[in-house]
Amino acid sequence: MADAKPPTPGGEVGSASTEFASAAELPVWLKLSDTEDEVDRLSKLEIKNGSLIVEPKTSAWFDGFRGPFVYQELAGDIAMHMRVKVEGKKGGKPKRKFSLGGAMVRVPNSDAKPNWFSVTTGTADKSGQVEVKQTKDGGSKPQEITVKDGWIEFVLARAGRAMVALYKEEGGQWKIGRRWPSEMPQVLQWGITAYADWESFLTLKKNATKANTQQIKGKPDLKMTVDYVRFLRPEIPEWADPLNTASVPDPVMIKLMTPAGA
């Protein structure tokens, strides 16, 4: 633990951080629907009162299904730290199943073999959950964790040969959601996702190829407020194996991946 140091801002990575203080900060965030010729599945993306407001249309990130994503392309080991609140459009919990929002990191132009990681919160199979998920070559493996309502902080990080998802409930302590082996390229898309209303896909739940070409009419009920997104550089000691909990126990991993004082 004595050798473990919190991640720090650095160079291009630190300058990519966004506090959403004004509308002038929005253009640095690229929309997947613009850069990779996707259907635009966002009904709202705006900065208001010092936060980013995101409201998705009916959409999904699962297996080969593609949803909304706004991101920056960054290289190397990164710890992406954000604070979000996910609720229904009129408050309360999102009413439709698999209505989630949070952090995502994705291999660019990976539609043929989708590869990405995410840590999100909202309503999954039931309300009040954090979902950690890896999608490798088009196959998703999600895991749900029960949490209380309200603001939540996420860190989604790459550290050497590992990806790590962490979360912290308001007033709580940092916890590790999942560690995964990572074989992703150096340059990745790091950013924000929100998607909603899996129930409205109906028969298209079995046809991602067809679903991705159209905007599905449904009843999306999700509003995500993003307080900030901050990018930091984690430093893993040379002796450490981030996938081995004997080498890097959870308390050490938390110190390595979360900002000092967060």
Instruction: Report yes or no: 64 and 138 within 8 Å, Cβ to Cβ.
Output: yes
pLDDT at 2 over 80: no
d(C-alpha 31, C-alpha 43), whole Å: 13
CATH number of 11-233: 2.60.120.200
Exposure string for 208-241, b = 16+ CB within 10 A, e = fewer = beebbeeebebebbbbbbbebbbbbbbbbeeebe
List all residues 6 or more positions away from 13 whose beta carbon is below 8 Å from its beta carbon: 74, 76, 78, 231, 232, 233
What is the residue type of 98?
Answer: F
pLDDT digits (tens, 9 = 90+) for 21-42: 999 999 999 999 999 999 999 9
pLDDT digits (tens, 9 = 90+) for 90-149: 999 999 999 999 999 999 999 999 999 999 999 999 999 999 999 999 999 999 999 999
End-to-end CA distance of the chain: 17
Domain residue limits, the chain: 11-233
What residues pair up with 70 in beta bridges, in sequence order? Answer: 31, 192
List all residues 6 or more positions away from 17 whose beta carbon is below 8 Å from its beta carbon: 9, 228, 229, 230, 231
pLDDT at 1 over 70: no
At 55 the three-state DSSP class reads strand
d(C-alpha 101, C-alpha 89), whole Å: 13
pTM over 0.85: yes
pLDDT digits (tens, 9 = 90+) for 207-220: 999 999 999 999 99
